[in-house]
Structure 1
Amino acid sequence: MTHRRQFIQQVSMLASAFSANSLFNQTHASNIVSANASTKHLTAAQVATDEDYWSVIQQAYTVHPSIINLNNGGVSPSPRIVQDAVRRYNELTNEAPSYYMWRILDQGREPLRQKLADLAGCNAEEIAINRNATEALNTIIYGLDLKAGDEVIGTKQDYPNMIQAWRQRAARDGIVYKQLNFNFPIENDQMIVDIFEQAITPKTKIIHITHIINWVGQILPVQKICAMARSKGIETIVDGAHSFALLDFTIPSLGCDYFGTSLHKFLSAPIGSGMLWIKQDKIEKIWPLLCNDKPNSKDIRKFETLGTRSFPIEQGIGEAINFQLAIGNKRKEERIRYLKNYWVEKVIHLPKINIHTSLNARYSCAIAGISINGLTSAQFGNTLFDTYKIHTTGIVWENISCVRITPHVYTRLQDLDRLVKAIHEIAEKK
C-alpha cells in the first residue's frame, strides 16, 4: 500500500503543471489573482506603471541580490516554481530513470504540447518540443528540399547560428544565400519590406526573417514581409527567439510557414527548452534533423526523435506557462517595454550617448543598444559590471557596436535608476 500511494502521488505530480494541483496554484496563484483583481479596471499600458502590481511578480524570482542582471536577451532566470518543478521531476527520475523517464514523464509531453499550442494560438499538431531556437530553425534549414541554384534571402543582422547554418547549406548543396544589410533603427515598415522584395529573383525560394533583431531589439514587420513573400510563392521562416512570450501575438497571425523559438528567454522556462512550429500542410515535406523511422510523415512528432533528453526540463515548461498566463501576454509586453523606455529616456539626451534602438512601440520592446563616444562596447560593458555590478553584454557585429541592455518582469525601477546613474558617471568621466 505504501508503494502504491507513492506511485499515485508521483503520477499526480506529473500532471500537476496542467491541473488545479500545479505548483503555481499552490504557491503564487492567490497573490497574482488578487493583484489582477485590483488592477482589472486598468489597461495593460496603465498596469505597466503600477509598481505594487509588479512587486508581486518580482517576488516569484530568486535573482542574485548583488548583481543586476540586464542581459535577459541572452537567457532569463526562471521563477522559483519552475526551478522547483524541474528539481522535483529530476528527483523522481533518479529513483528509477528508465522507468520514470519513458513510462511516466514521457506521458506528459502531450499535455505540454497542447498548453504550448494554446499559448501560441495554433494547432497542437503543429508544435514540436525541443531544446532551443537554434535546434528548431536548423531543423527547417536542413530539412527543406533545396537544390543547387535555389536562393535564400536573409540579413547580416540575423542570429549567427542561423547565418552559419545557411552558409553550410550553401557550401554543401550549392544554394545561393543572399544577405541584406540594414542600418537600424528603422521606423518605416514599407522601407524594410521593399528591401526584401527588391532582393527577390525567380530563383528565390525562402525568406528568413528575424522577428526581433537580437543585437538592438528592432522589431521587423513580419506580417507584411510574409504577405509579400506569399504573394510571390515564396516560403518564410521566422526566428522568434526574442519575440515569443514577449510580444502579444499568435504564430499563425504572422502568416509564416515555419517558426522557431527558445522558451528560456522571455517565457522564463527552464534553461535549454525550445519550440518548433510548422504549418500543418508543410510538415510532410520537411526532413527531420535527427533520424526518424518515418521521415516523410505528416506527424510533427517526427522532429522529437532526440533519444534520451531532459524530461524534467520539458515538464518544467508547464509551470512557466502557468506563470505567463497569470500575468497575461499584453501586460507583460507593455511592462517590459515600459522598463526599456524608462531608462533610455533618462539618458538619450546626454552628450556622448548613442541609442541604437527605436522608442516607437511598433519597432522595439525589451532590448535597447547603447554606446558612449570614445569607449568600445567591451570597455563600457566591463565598467558597468566591474564598478556597478550591472551585467549586460557587449555587441560587436557587422555594422553594430554597442552594449545591449534587456530588462525583464522581475527588474525593479531602482535597478534601472542604478543603471542610469552608472551611465551618467561613465559618460562624464569619458
Structure 2
Amino acid sequence: MLLKNDVATAVTVLKKAPDDETYWSSVRALMKPMYTHTQLVNTRRGAAPAQVRDRVRSLVDLSLSYELDVHEPFRELKESGSSPRIRKLLADYFGAGDDEIALNRNAMEGIATVLNGLTLKAGDEVIATKYCYDSNLAILRQRAEREGIVVKLADIPFGRASDDEVVAAFSRLISDRTRLITFPHVVARSGQVLPAAKIAALARSKGIFTFVDGAHSAGHICLSLDELGCDAFAACLHKWMFGPRGTGFLYVRRERIADVWPLWASWSNKPASSIEKFEEVGSVFKALPAAIPDAIDFNRGIGQEEKSARLRYMRERWVVPLSAHERVRILTDIEAKPGTGFGAFTVEGMENAAFTKALFDEFKIHVLAFEVEEDRSLKGIHVSPSLSNSIEEVDRFVEASFTILDRG
C-alpha cells in the first residue's frame, strides 16, 4: 500500500523504505513496547526505546542520592537539568541556534512561559484557534480576565483546508491591536498541519509575535525552526521523539528573547536576552534530562525523513481501505503535504464512543472517540499508530473495524 510519492522518496532519498517490514520490525524490537492491548493512540506519549529507559534506570539512584557539590555525578548538568551539550543536540536536530533553545520539563512549561510572559495590556488582542490545547486557551482566558486582553479564535475548517484558507482565517481577525498569534503546528485529533511558515510571515509583516505549539510536530514531521520563521515554539520530547517523560524544550528566536518574561525570575541574573533565563526552574530529577542524548541518538539512527514516511505509511494503511466503506467518512486529508501519521473518521449511523467501545471490548484495540473542546459539534474517531506498532496491528484494526461496520 505504498503510495507513488512515497515509493519515489524511498528510492531516491530514504535510507529505509516505509514498507520495509524487516527493518521496521527491528526498530519496534528496540522500543520493546509493553502494551496490554493494541494501542493506536500515541499522541499523549510515545514508548521510549529500551536504551532511553535503561539510561534512566541506571541513573535513578544517583539522581536521588547526591547533593549538588563537587562530587555531583551530573556536574555537566545545571540544577535545571540543562547543559550546553543538550541544548546543542536539540538545536541541531530542530534547525535552530543553541542560543535559542531552553530545556523545559514539558511542552506546557514552554507554552505557559510564552503565553504568560509576553507583555500585553488591556485591549491588546491575541488570535488563537479552537484547536489549541485547552490548557493553552485557559492561560489566555485567565489573562483576559485579569488583564483585559481580548482573545479571538480563527475559524479554521475542520480536518481539510488549504493553506490559503487557513492563512485567510487568521488574516481576517488581525487588527491594529493584535499583538500575538498562537496556534498548534499539528491539530492533535485530525493530524492537519497548519502552514506555520506562512502564518508567521503574515504576522511578521505586521509586527505581530507568533507562537507555535509544536507538541505534535516535533519529531513527527520534518521541520526546521529557522525556516518556520515563528518567534517561539514549544514542544515535549516524550511524544514523537520517544524521550523521557518530563523533558521538553522552548525555542525563542534570539531577536525576541528579551520580549518574553521567564515564568520564574532568573535567580542568577541572566540578562533579558539570554535563553537560559527560561531554564531556572529549581531542582529537577536529573535522570530524565540526562537521557535526552540517548533519545536523540535513537532518532538520528532512524532518520527524521524515514520516521515521517513510516508514520504516513501506517496512516494510509488503514485510511485507504476504511475510506472505501460506505459508512465511513474520513476527516483527514491524506493528500496534504506534509502529512502526519494521525487520522480521524466518523461512522454513519453509529456513535463514535459506541464504535471505540466495541473495538476495545471485542478486539482489545484502543482508538479514541473525541470532541473538540471549543466546538462539541466537531467530533470523530482518532487513530495515531507509532513506531512501536506493527503493521499487523494496523491491519488487525482494519479487519476489526470492518467486522463492526458490516453488522449494521
Give yes or no for TM over 0.5.
yes
CA separation of 1:232 and 1:413: change in aligned 2, threshold 3 A: same
Aligned to 2:63: 93
Quote how far apart the aligned CAs of 1:296 are: 5.4
**Match runs of 1:264-283 below 5 Å:** 264-283=238-257
- Aligned partners of 1:187 and 1:362: how far apart in 2? 12
Contact 2:63 2:285 in 1 (8 A): no
1:404 to 382, 385, 395: 382
Contact 1:287 1:296 in 2 (8 A): no
Aligned to 1:335: 310
1:227 aligns with 2:201: yes
- Aligned partners of 1:135 and 1:145: how far apart in 2? 17
Question: What code does the residue aligned with 2:401 have?
Answer: I
Quote how far apart the aligned CAs of 1:166 are: 0.9
Contact 2:102 2:250 in 1 (8 A): yes
1:189 aligns with 2:163: yes
Q: Deviations over 1:40-80 (max 9, x none)?
A: 96533971111122122111012136511111111111000
CA separation of 1:362 and 1:224: change in aligned 2, threshold 3 A: same
1:362 aligns with 2:340: no
Quote how far apart the aligned CAs of 1:379 are: 2.0
Contact 1:381 1:392 in 2 (8 A): yes
Contact 2:10 2:18 in 1 (8 A): no
**Match runs of 1:27-38 below 5 Å:** none
Q: Secondary structure at the match of 1:49?
A: coil
Question: What code does the residue aligned with 1:424 have?
Answer: F
- Aligned partners of 2:67 and 2:37: how far apart in 1? 36
Q: Secondary structure at the match of 2:288?
A: helix
Question: What code does the residue aligned with 1:425 have?
Answer: T
Q: Secondary structure at the match of 1:47?
A: coil
Q: Compare 375-384 and 277-286 and name the one that shifted more.
A: 375-384
Q: Deviations over 1:205-235 (max 9, x none)?
A: 1111211001211011111111111111111
Quote how far apart the aligned CAs of 1:385 are: 1.8
Q: Secondary structure at the match of 1:312?
A: coil
Contact 2:344 2:381 in 1 (8 A): yes
- Aligned partners of 1:93 and 1:49: how far apart in 2? 41
Aligned to 2:105: 131
Question: What code does the residue aligned with 1:385 have?
Answer: F
1:55 aligns with 2:25: yes
1:73 to 33, 43, 51: 43
1:387 aligns with 2:365: no
Which has the larger share of helix? 1
Aligned to 1:112: 86
Quote how far apart the aligned CAs of 1:157 are: 1.3
Contact 2:103 2:279 in 1 (8 A): yes
Question: What code does the residue aligned with 2:278 have?
Answer: F
Question: What code does the residue aligned with 2:406 have?
Answer: E
Aligned to 1:148: 122
Contact 2:234 2:249 in 1 (8 A): yes
- Aligned partners of 2:328 and 2:272: how far apart in 1? 54
CA separation of 1:423 and 1:41: change in aligned 2, threshold 3 A: closer
Q: Secondary structure at the match of 1:264?
A: coil
Question: What code does the residue aligned with 2:398 have?
Answer: V
Matched residue count: 392
- Normalized against structure 2, the TM-score is what? 0.91
- Normalized against structure 1, the TM-score is what? 0.87
1:417 to 373, 395, 398: 395
Question: What code does the residue aligned with 2:355 have?
Answer: F
Contact 1:262 1:273 in 2 (8 A): yes
1:175 aligns with 2:149: yes
1:322 aligns with 2:317: no
CA separation of 1:429 and 1:41: change in aligned 2, threshold 3 A: closer
